[in-house]
Structure 1
Amino acid sequence: MSTPAEHTVRTRPADARDAAFAARLDALWPDVLRTLQPLYGDHADFPGLLDRLRTVLATAHAERSPRLRALDERRLVTPDWFQRTDMLGYVCYTDRFAGTLSDLPGRIEYLRELGASYLHLMPLLTPRQGPNDGGYAVADYRSVDPRVGTVDDLRAVADALHEDGISLVLDLVCNHTAREHEWATKAIAGDPAYLAYYRSYPDRTEPDRWERTLPEVFPDFAPGNFTWVPELDRWVWTTFNDYQWDLDYTNPDVFVEMLEVICYLANLGVDVVRLDAVAFMWKRMGTNCQNQPEVHLILQAWRALSRVVAPATILLAEAIVSPEDLVGYLGQGEGAGKECELAYHNVLMVTLWSALAEQNAVLLTSTVQAMPQIPPSSAWLTYARLHDDIGWAITDENAGAVGLDAFAHRSFLSDFYSGGFPGSFARGAVFQENPRTGDRRISGSLASLAGLEAALEARAGGDPQGEELVDAAVARILLLHHLILTFGGIPLVNMGDEIGMCNDWSYADDPDHAEDNRWLHRPRMDWDDAVRRHDPSTVEGRIFTELRRLVALRAATPQLHAQARTEALWSGNPRVFALLRDSARGQVLVVANVSPHPTTYDLPDGWGSVIDLVSDERAEGSAGLRPYQVRWLRRL
């Protein structure tokens, strides 16, 4: 292991003229060594690897624009910039929201009207032609899908967003490339250096050993985890689809290549690099090859190195994993506060939907209580719906803690949200049923899963209860948004959810999408519907107006800052979910009735008189809750 003196002498490039850059390099280099020694320290040319990394950093720093360096300085003195209560995320596909990148600045006013300050443009780096897993099969990390624009267009979008106070989020698919990527084509052409970028095998001996413990991500249309590639005369590891080749991170060249891409994106003006499929990056025989310790070392190393060049840019782990594995992506133990700044709280999302289906908050409360607190320098991304299917990440332990059978409960949720359970309000579709494990994931838009699609059809068909059904669906949609807004972190609104857009069943008419029903909840933005957001007599107007009001209320409530402790409380009423936000900024107690029945909530001892920030109503001792009502309570 290097000595402190080496940290100072060896890590400062001779051509580094920027004192701040050199200081960051010296300060963060111990973390680089700490993480890379276990990963690559046994390689014969480990010192050469360190020299390469220093060169990558110096080059990227020299290419960073003055405007972005100024942003670095601002964020270094406001390190909680992404944790503040005025942060609201919006997630969309560029073409489905705006058309092209050059069209997108014309929609910024809409984003600001909603209160968005974080824009995730779904994958837009150049994908392979043909099927590409919604853009997650990348053929070139340094160019933009020509159907939406160019790199210059992307840089201009970043500038325009920054002028309006909106941060740009972009995907980096780091577990795999498309088989059409330059690295893969060179491997196919016979270059052994690039063949070593991927995991491949001459026969089925090793793949069969691996398969014994590997799950299948897409059992319907991409069973197994290996694909025979005739041009190579080898089996290639393909966790997702046969055209997505898994990279081999035991090869330090792969690590360096991805670091260069992270720096490249940061220098385009990307504020948050979303690291896709990170859980799969390291393989270990006899495991499910997810969440291995080396994955966390890689992420910690990338964070330390990228902060040397671009401290204004942060990392987001796309790790949709079980509760016991999830918190690790924000850093634990020696890596606490040194891994990704952001991660998706998929466990919250899943248990919110469970609570609505059960009309019961017990599993939600117990599961949130069991989650460890996260480092104060990190934050969750909270969401009710995004672009992907919903996998019911409910473990045997969490279900058993409240007397449920996990397998039976996951089956119930799949039945309920595909509309097959008696009395279900939902309209969804089963995605990737796995007969071997019984897993059945769910596709469907937030509005349709919350009952709006069925309610609108009932109203249009003359059902005397149609209006009540619409009211209940709108209330469920708003309840979900209440809870993602108050939980802590950055709440995300998926495009169209703010106006209650329902499933797009026409996805099946597109031959490129027909076999993947996730396009059910990836519609094109209906700008005619969006016009009605200003009409309070319409569903669009009711949802948008109230959501915008709640976003503004959150921005004005410092007690909801991401650094505030988040604690689920037993409410004493199974219909009520109670969430305490507690910090030096003060306390707010959020209580939500997850059922269609009126109920009450008894305030905790010592709370006395409270005011509901949402309705401005006062209460003492207990608070009444209408069906699906949420109150944000502050002590008087």
Structure 2
Amino acid sequence: MTAPLKVKLAGMLEVVYPALDCDFLAEQLLKTMGLAPNQAPPPPHQNNWDESDVVLITYADTLRQEGEKPLVTLHRFLDEHLRDVISAVHILPFFPYSSDDGFAVMDYLAVNESHGTWEDIERIAGDFKLMADLVINHMSARSRWFENFRKRVDPGKDYFFEASPKDDLSAVVRPRTSPLLNPVQTEDGERYVWCTFSEDQVDLNFANPQVLIEFAGIIRSYLEHGVRLFRLDAVAFLWKEPGTPCIHLQQTHELIKILRLLIEHHTPESVIITETNVPNRENLTYFGNANEAHIIYNFSLPPLLINTLVTGNCRHLKTWLMSMPPAQMGTTYLNFIASHDGVGLRPTDGLLDDAEKQRLINTMESFGGKVSYRRAADGRDQPYEINIALYDALKGTAEGGADHWQLSRFLCAHTIMLALEGIPAFYIHSLLATENDYERMENTGRLRSINRSQWQLDTLKETLADPLSHHSKAFSELKRLIAIRRRQPAFHPNATQFTLHLGLQIFGFWRQSMRRDQSIFCIHNISSELQEIALSDINLIGTDHWVDLISGLAIEDLAGSITLKPYQCVWLSNRA
């Protein structure tokens, strides 16, 4: 018999807060969330997604129109251009903020007035599944909570994590080169606050259970405004203990379980996504036993896929794919190859050697990219991410430089992403094939701004209406490929996947629907040369009729072969 919700919650809280009255804390959390102590759980291992799910990632103000709030402009663009293309939209932090393009939140419960209102958010949530960021690790140094921390009053007095410069912090894993501890003058003297990312982003103190209760209230508010997918930003750093790496600590995993328990009891179709830009094996731990994240980002995919396409060699991508465990029912991967951040290099640890990483970095720099660094435990600065627009990242090869295959290479990358196990997510600037924005980068002084352009809506519409522009060509073809994908049961995020071995210039895998009524052989020429494949090597079943879903061409002679042009892809299906 399943334990009542309060009993289960109290047991989980005891792992994090063994010295506290966890029965009382459980009561407070349930009251804050509006849940009954004996509320029934949702069905276990439930997939809240299918093959029709496709996510768009965008800032609230990426699209702008004179005299109109950006959230209104975004909604109109979604309605006019993407209503039958995407199922969900991830609007990056739309709250009042002081830095980092939204990730230094000043007020979790307000919409940035320059973007729009909660009513605008709710209207988008009425037409698409809405993903929002729960910026849970840190908060703005200009927030009311932090001002109260300085004044030594509540709420906020004990909401931020403090440490001493005398503490042993040598093992702490850093994603940045900025100081970890920053001195702050308060009403009762100088205190040192923990800043994982920047001086303006002060880490919250979840050792104080009141912070957890505050976030339960924030989550409930988001649910009531229509949010159904919660992206837990930088969650791997949530719990700190000097003398440890302060990443992936057990209390962090337990807190994710607690948040999931609360969220899915409130709204069973809601989903938690953990944002953990770390090496692949570490990333996989956030599935837990199908009781932590419903979805994890496939952080190794962007650098490995870019590396594959600029080297014309899929060995590392294939090795990685073979090592990836099938996600349990009720969990899956979020596949992306570009985002508002850079192309992470830590997820390649153990997958690319140092020389291969450096070759990738050199290639991206030759295509206009920049490199951000992090401070390693030995005190040295190491490459952390490559900042570049995906369209420019794929403008050529490592050996030959820029060439005329840029658009084909770019489309090949997305075709691979669309077919992989998991849910595909498109950063809006990839869907639009936006190039490096050097002007914005210079204006902000931040390398990540190279891939955070803003489009005037009228200009964008004119560009997309021009059939000769690469933006129009990419947008039209990507929408066509998405439409094909959304009709295929074999592309369900949890459908079977096996890696094919077709040489180093052909990247292939097989998908089979959960009812076993459809097979799709996904085959991609990742080189700039023609490639011929004997159909006997693919092992197509002779009694079935096979068709390439992308071109519509039927396969008549199973004893013959197919020739793939540079970067051409085929989805061979026994069900048209």
Is TM > 0.5 for Structure 1 vs Structure 2? yes
Instruction: Return the alpha-carbon distance in structure 1 between the equivalents of residues 80 and 245 of structure 2.
Output: 43
Q: What is the deviation of 1:543?
A: 1.3
2:143 aligned residue: 181
Moved more, 585-594 or 102-111: 102-111
User: Which of 574, 599, 606 in structure 1 is aligned with 2:531?
Assistant: 599
1:224 aligned residue: 179
2:522 aligned residue: 590
Asked if 1:300 corresponds to 2:233, the answer is no
User: Which of 365, 369, 374 in structure 2 is aligned with 1:428?
Assistant: 369
| Letter of the 1:438 counterpart | Q
Instruction: Return the alpha-carbon distance in structure 1 between the equivalents of residues 370 and 528 of structure 2.
Output: 24
Instruction: Return the alpha-carbon distance in structure 1 between the equivalents of residues 214 and 382 of structure 2.
Output: 39
User: Which of 290, 296, 299 in structure 2 is aligned with 1:343?
Assistant: 296
| Letter of the 1:494 counterpart | Y
Give the secondary structure class of the aligned counterpart of 2:107.
strand
Instruction: Return the alpha-carbon distance in structure 2 between the equivalents of residues 101 and 546 of structure 1.
Output: 26
User: Which of 186, 198, 202 in structure 2 is aligned with 1:241?
Assistant: 198
The question of whether the paired residues in 2 share the 8 Å contact of 1:499 and 1:530 is answered with no
Instruction: Return the alpha-carbon distance in structure 2 between the equivalents of residues 579 and 517 of structure 1.
Output: 35
Q: What is the deviation of 1:115?
A: 0.4
Moved more, 536-545 or 134-143: 536-545
Q: What is the deviation of 1:569?
A: 2.8
Instruction: Return the alpha-carbon distance in structure 2 between the equivalents of residues 181 and 590 of structure 1.
Output: 49
The question of whether the paired residues in 1 share the 8 Å contact of 2:304 and 2:348 is answered with no
| Letter of the 2:522 counterpart | V
Q: Aligned residue pairs: how many?
A: 553
Give the secondary structure class of the aligned counterpart of 1:37.
helix
User: Which of 105, 120, 144 in structure 1 is aligned with 2:90?
Assistant: 120
Instruction: Return the alpha-carbon distance in structure 2 between the equivalents of residues 579 and 526 of structure 1.
Output: 40
Name the CA shift for 1:412/1:109 in 2 (closer, same or farther; >3 Å).
same
Instruction: Return the alpha-carbon distance in structure 2 between the equivalents of residues 314 and 167 of structure 1.
Output: 11
User: Which of 340, 352, 355 in structure 2 is aligned with 1:408?
Assistant: 355
Asked if 1:87 corresponds to 2:53, the answer is yes
2:558 aligned residue: 620
Give a deviation string over 1:8-56, Cα, whole Å, max 9, x none: xxxxxxxxxxxxxxxxxx4x4554244222112331x222101112211
Asked if 1:550 corresponds to 2:481, the answer is yes
1:66 aligned residue: none
2:307 aligned residue: 354
The question of whether the paired residues in 1 share the 8 Å contact of 2:29 and 2:213 is answered with yes
Name the CA shift for 1:535/1:81 in 2 (closer, same or farther; >3 Å).
farther
Q: What is the deviation of 1:350?
A: 1.7
Structure 1: which 5+ runs fail to align? 8-25, 62-71, 400-405, 420-425, 455-464
Q: What is the deviation of 1:362?
A: 0.4
Q: What is the deviation of 1:266?
A: 0.7
The question of whether the paired residues in 1 share the 8 Å contact of 2:389 and 2:434 is answered with yes
Name the CA shift for 1:446/1:110 in 2 (closer, same or farther; >3 Å).
farther
Give the secondary structure class of the aligned counterpart of 2:34.
helix
Instruction: Return the alpha-carbon distance in structure 2 between the equivalents of residues 293 and 197 of structure 1.
Output: 20
The normalised TM-score by structure 2 is 0.89
Name the CA shift for 1:31/1:473 in 2 (closer, same or farther; >3 Å).
farther
Instruction: Return the alpha-carbon distance in structure 1 between the equivalents of residues 317 and 192 of structure 2.
Output: 43
Name the CA shift for 1:78/1:254 in 2 (closer, same or farther; >3 Å).
closer
User: Which of 403, 406, 410 in structure 2 is aligned with 1:469?
Assistant: 403
Name the CA shift for 1:110/1:289 in 2 (closer, same or farther; >3 Å).
farther
Name the CA shift for 1:305/1:629 in 2 (closer, same or farther; >3 Å).
same
User: Which of 38, 49, 60 in structure 1 is aligned with 2:25?
Assistant: 49
The question of whether the paired residues in 1 share the 8 Å contact of 2:9 and 2:26 is answered with no
Instruction: Return the alpha-carbon distance in structure 1 between the equivalents of residues 44 and 166 of structure 2.
Output: 55
Instruction: Return the alpha-carbon distance in structure 1 between the equivalents of residues 118 and 222 of structure 2.
Output: 10
2:572 aligned residue: 633
The question of whether the paired residues in 2 share the 8 Å contact of 1:559 and 1:587 is answered with yes
2:79 aligned residue: 109
The question of whether the paired residues in 2 share the 8 Å contact of 1:317 and 1:343 is answered with yes
Give the secondary structure class of the aligned counterpart of 1:299.
helix
2:104 aligned residue: 137
Name the CA shift for 1:248/1:177 in 2 (closer, same or farther; >3 Å).
same
Moved over 4 A (4+): 28-31, 75-79, 602-605
Within a 5 Å distance, the mapping from 1:432-471 to structure 2 comes to 432=373, 436-451=380-395, 469-470=403-404
| Letter of the 1:627 counterpart | P
1:561 aligned residue: 492
Q: Percent identity?
A: 24
Name the CA shift for 1:76/1:47 in 2 (closer, same or farther; >3 Å).
closer
Instruction: Return the alpha-carbon distance in structure 1 between the equivalents of residues 33 and 452 of structure 2.
Output: 38
2:350 aligned residue: 397
Give the secondary structure class of the aligned counterpart of 1:418.
helix
Asked if 1:267 corresponds to 2:224, the answer is yes
Name the CA shift for 1:39/1:216 in 2 (closer, same or farther; >3 Å).
closer
1:23 aligned residue: none
Instruction: Return the alpha-carbon distance in structure 2 between the equivalents of residues 192 and 109 of structure 1.
Output: 44
1:524 aligned residue: 454
Asked if 1:97 corresponds to 2:63, the answer is yes
Name the CA shift for 1:181/1:491 in 2 (closer, same or farther; >3 Å).
same
Give the secondary structure class of the aligned counterpart of 1:590.
strand
The question of whether the paired residues in 2 share the 8 Å contact of 1:238 and 1:244 is answered with yes
Q: What is the deviation of 1:620?
A: 2.4
Q: What is the deviation of 1:415?
A: 0.9
The question of whether the paired residues in 1 share the 8 Å contact of 2:45 and 2:290 is answered with no
Instruction: Return the alpha-carbon distance in structure 1 between the equivalents of residues 31 and 83 of structure 2.
Output: 43
Instruction: Return the alpha-carbon distance in structure 2 between the equivalents of residues 326 and 566 of structure 1.
Output: 20
| Letter of the 1:172 counterpart | L
The question of whether the paired residues in 2 share the 8 Å contact of 1:417 and 1:449 is answered with yes
Q: What is the deviation of 1:248?
A: 1.7
Give the secondary structure class of the aligned counterpart of 1:631.
strand
The question of whether the paired residues in 1 share the 8 Å contact of 2:89 and 2:131 is answered with yes
Give a deviation string over 1:278-313, Cα, whole Å, max 9, x none: 111012444332122222211111111112212232
Q: What is the deviation of 1:273?
A: 1.4
Name the CA shift for 1:143/1:576 in 2 (closer, same or farther; >3 Å).
same
Q: What is the deviation of 1:77?
A: 12
Q: Greater helix share, 1 or 2?
A: 1
User: Which of 102, 106, 117 in structure 2 is aligned with 1:150?
Assistant: 117
Instruction: Return the alpha-carbon distance in structure 1 between the equivalents of residues 116 and 470 of structure 2.
Output: 34
Instruction: Return the alpha-carbon distance in structure 1 between the equivalents of residues 273 and 541 of structure 2.
Output: 40
1:611 aligned residue: 547
User: Which of 525, 532, 537 in structure 1 is aligned with 2:468?
Assistant: 537
Give a deviation string over 1:131-171, Cα, whole Å, max 9, x none: x1111011111111111123333233323x2xxxx111111
Name the CA shift for 1:77/1:190 in 2 (closer, same or farther; >3 Å).
closer
Instruction: Return the alpha-carbon distance in structure 1 between the equivalents of residues 116 and 362 of structure 2.
Output: 41
Name the CA shift for 1:156/1:60 in 2 (closer, same or farther; >3 Å).
farther
